[in-house]
Amino acid sequence: MNIRLYNARIYDPCKKEQIMRGEVRIQDDKIFSVIREGDEPDEGFVPDREIDCAGNLLMRGFNDAHTHSAMTFLRSLADDKPTPAWLREDVFPVEARLTDDDIAAFQKIAIMEYVSGGICSVMDMYLRPDVTAEVFSSAGMRAVIVSGLNDFTSSTSQMEDEYKRLNFYHPLISYKMGIHAEYTCSEGLLREVSGLVKQYGASFYCHLSETLSETRECFEKTGMTPFEYLDSLGLFEHGGGIYHGVHLTSDEIRLLAEKNVSVVINSASNCKLASGIAPLKELTDAGVNIGIGTDGPASNNSLDMFREMYLTSVLCKIRESDAACLDAVSILDMAVSGSAVCMGFDDPCVIAPGNRADIIMIDMHKPNMQPENNIIKNIVYSGNPENVIMTMVAGKILYRNGEYFLGFDPEEVYSDCEARLKALTGN
């Protein structure tokens, strides 16, 4: 479908004039052209649909570089506990009872929250990746699926099979090799995974250095920090990413940069679980690529990239005792382009001809966007999901003005999930 988005303001961080007035033309899943106000329109483009943006802002959508979508079933169910007890007592036992249909149902709630908050793609780690691939592709949303392999679930042979199949499953779906975490995997399993990483030249992903106890236990066991240990096994030979990265040493940060490994910051989750504050400035100073992720609804509990951007910024300022540390443009870039790099996207995350039509519209007529002293700072420091009035993925509008276009009825999903949750928990 050809879609014309006119009377818009358009954000392009790569240009000197970062915000211009004009229109964006979409052809199928790509951006066909960007026309500055007053310029002659291109010939040969006939729109099937025209949308007056009423002076609102168009920008590339957020890329949530770490989440566990199906964990919406744990939202506000397992809270206010130390991380080890939270996992052992609340998360793992209920997860063991989940069916494929349960996972699919709970993921639909997450997808609605993503698109209504301007998130166009996610990097999702959870059980049964085939279910994730089906649910997200059917809804029209982009997903990078990461293996959560550990000693208790799945196997390296299953991960290899998923890697070969799901990378060709659907244009909106891709798959990355990974593990849940160092502390849930034996050395034998890690060496098997390393063999696959080397065989396929694959990037590798995992939770890492999230808690102080995790890093201490790894050092006591191996004589190395978590990243040094996994790197010594060859797991990061082809780059990849780590989630959280709260308790990293200077040597690890240097290695991360050398190995081209991204760090995904999960500020809300790190605060809620009292994990700590990631060394963001030291990471950026070393040249490490930074993405931003919400983490799952059990540990956040919100899938809100506006809140993540705000917390990522202010926590860095607190840690460094420097209110000038990392400006809003840098933070927004992490939530869009930095996350995209971590997720393996080769598309520059700007609104430009030939790039993906993953676009959101920000309502500039809300009080929290006024006055317009600096639009980007408004988005990072005062924005919230209510400012998102349209989310488009691959040229298809999935959300607009409070209405979802995902192929399922929201109220039916809510009712279904309530019934499933009662069956799972007995409450």
- pLDDT confidence tier of residue 256, bands split at 50, 70 and 90: very high
- Taking the whole predicted model, whether its pTM rises above 0.95 is answered as yes
Percent of the chain residues topping a pLDDT of 70: 100
| Beta-carbon contacts of residue 234 (< 8 Å; ≥ 6 apart) | 194, 197, 198
Alpha carbon 233 to its chain's center: 27
Percent of the chain residues topping a pLDDT of 90: 90
Alpha carbon 43 to its chain's center: 37
The answer to whether residues 312 and 280 touch, using CB atoms and an 8 Å cutoff, is yes
- pLDDT confidence tier of residue 43, bands split at 50, 70 and 90: confident
Residue 42: its pLDDT value, please? 76
Average pLDDT of the chain is 96
Query: What tens digit of pLDDT does each residue of 358-380 get?
Result: 999 999 999 999 999 999 999 99
| Beta-carbon contacts of residue 415 (< 8 Å; ≥ 6 apart) | none
Least confident of 41-50, 285-294, 412-421: 41-50
100-116 and 410-425 are packed helices; what angle lies between their axes, rounded to 10 degrees? 130
The answer to whether residues 185 and 177 touch, using CB atoms and an 8 Å cutoff, is no
- pLDDT confidence tier of residue 426, bands split at 50, 70 and 90: confident
Query: What tens digit of pLDDT does each residue of 9-33 get?
Result: 999 988 878 999 999 999 999 999 9
Rounded distance, CA 119 to CA 363, Å?
Answer: 15
Rounded distance, CA 157 to CA 127, Å?
Answer: 15
Rounded distance, CA 341 to CA 290, Å?
Answer: 9
Query: What tens digit of pLDDT does each residue of 115-124 get?
Result: 999 999 999 9
Q: How many residues does the chain have?
A: 427
Q: Classify residue 380 by burial, with Cβ atoms within 10 Å: 0-12, 13-18, 19+.
A: buried
Domain ranges of the chain: 2-61+349-404, 62-343
3-state secondary structure of 302: coil
Helix ranges (DSSP H) in 88-172: 92-95, 100-116, 129-139, 156-166
What DSSP line would sit under 345-400, residue for residue?
Answer: --S-SSS-TTSB--EEEE-TTSGGG-S-S-HHHHHHHH--GGGEEEEEETTEEEEE
Rounded distance, CA 156 to CA 286, Å?
Answer: 33
Residue 383 has pLDDT above 90, yes or no: yes
Tokens matching residue 79: 């809270």
Pairing of strands 204-208, 173-181: parallel
Across residues 312-332, what is the average pLDDT?
A: 97
Nearest to residue 61, comparing CAs of 404, 388, 427, 308? 388
156-166 and 129-139 are packed helices; what angle lies between their axes, rounded to 10 degrees? 20
Nearest to residue 279, comparing CAs of 298, 258, 256, 301? 256
Alpha carbon 55 to its chain's center: 28
HSE value, Cβ hemisphere, 13 Å, CA-based, for 206: 23
CATH superfamily, region 2-61+349-404: Urease, subunit C, domain 1 (2.30.40.10)
Query: What tens digit of pLDDT does each residue of 121-171 get?
Result: 999 999 999 999 999 999 999 999 999 999 998 899 999 999 999 999 999
| Beta-carbon contacts of residue 412 (< 8 Å; ≥ 6 apart) | none
Q: What is the DSSP letter of 405?
A: -
Q: Classify residue 69 by burial, with Cβ atoms within 10 Å: 0-12, 13-18, 19+.
A: buried
CATH superfamily, region 62-343: Metal-dependent hydrolases (3.20.20.140)
